[in-house]
């Protein structure tokens, strides 16, 4: 069985990371047996590339969502994308990349830019910093946020005003909605790997407790709301039964 290493469940979602969520969703859609486990103490120094997710497939270690996807296709076949034309695969690949390399930064704005949003992480520090005495946690938390915001700035997104970033997010929501149209999934009647990525990043924007114009815009598009509900109900019935889905 494949072991997928992630952070922790949060906000009614299978993991607090959209990247971990993407691989978990792909594995579910592809029908590949796996177990999602929490990285012990969240110690990223114990991971192959200092980040999550990574998988352990009976001793074969693969890190990074794109490399994991390639490995899974090579090892277990391509049940989701194999039916697509070369052009459709190219479109799907572009949406996969857009989520991980561009849309990701809108989630960073939602979570880290404002004090009141970052404060929603407070309950998790007891888990991630369990090895640090409570009275000494303030500095590593501050440094963590500063590091993320520095990455945000140097990516280019953080150089813009919050309003400009929200505008960029709306453009990407619109691109997804246009591609989806009135289809159940991005490429037609059945899901593809692109759906695993798009769903995972959209749900981290639209169904989390961070108040944002980005969240509001995504939820204003009925086809995207229905898309999330469709995939959540079909592939995450275990979570749906818990009624912890954040609207």
Q: Which helix (H) or strand (E) covers residue 193, if one does?
A: helix 193-206
98 or 129, which is more confident? 98
> pTM for the full model?
0.95
Please state the rounded mean pLDDT for residues 186-208.
98
Tokens of 238: 């275990």
Domains of the chain, by residue range, sit at 2-240
Q: How many residues in total does the chain contain?
A: 247
Structure confidence at residue 242 (pLDDT)? 59
- Whether the pLDDT of residue 28 is over 60: the answer is yes
Tokens of 122: 């407070």
Structure confidence at residue 41 (pLDDT)? 73
Structure confidence at residue 241 (pLDDT)? 60
Rg (CA), the chain: 18
Under DSSP, is residue 243 helix (H, G, I), strand (E, B) or coil?
coil
- Whether the pLDDT of residue 243 is over 70: the answer is no
For 166-199, give one letter per residue: b (16+ CB within 10 A) or e: bebbbebbeebeebbeeebbbbeeebbbbbbbbb
Tell me which architecture the domain covering 2-240 has in CATH.
Answer: 3-Layer(aba) Sandwich (3.40)
pLDDT in tens, 131-149: 889 999 999 999 999 999 9
Please state the rounded mean pLDDT for residues 210-218.
98
pLDDT in tens, 139-177: 999 999 999 999 999 999 999 999 999 999 999 999 999
Strand 34-38, strand 2-6: pairing: parallel
């Amino acid at each position: 069985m494949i072991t997928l290493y992630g952070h922790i469940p949060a906000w009614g979602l299978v993991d607090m990371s959209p990247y971990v969520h993407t691989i978990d969703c792909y594995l579910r859609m592809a029908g590949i047996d796996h177990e999602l486990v929490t990285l012990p103490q969240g110690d990223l120094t114990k991971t192959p590339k200092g980040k999550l997710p990574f998988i352990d497939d009976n001793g074969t270690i693969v890190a990074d969502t794109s490399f994991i996807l390639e490995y899974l296709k090579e090892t277990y076949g391509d049940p989701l994308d194999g039916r697509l034309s070369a052009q459709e695969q190219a479109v799907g690949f572009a949406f996969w990349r857009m989520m991980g390399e561009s849309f990701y930064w809108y989630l960073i704005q939602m979570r880290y830019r404002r004090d009141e949003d970052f404060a929603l992480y407070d309950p998790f520090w007891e888990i991630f910093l369990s090895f640090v005495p409570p009275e000494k946690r303030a500095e590593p938390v501050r440094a963590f946020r500063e590091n993320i915001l520095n990455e945000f700035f140097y990516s280019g997104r953080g150089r813009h005003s919050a309003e400009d970033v929200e505008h960029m997010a709306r453009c990407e929501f619109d691109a997804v909605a246009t591609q989806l149209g009135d289809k159940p999934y991005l490429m037609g009647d059945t899901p593809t790997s692109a759906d695993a990525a798009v769903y995972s990043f959209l749900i981290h924007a639209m169904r989390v407790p961070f108040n944002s114009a980005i969240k509001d815009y995504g939820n204003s598009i009925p086809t995207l709301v229905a898309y999330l509900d469709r995939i959540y109900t079909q592939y995450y019935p275990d979570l749906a039964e818990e009624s912890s889905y954040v609207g």
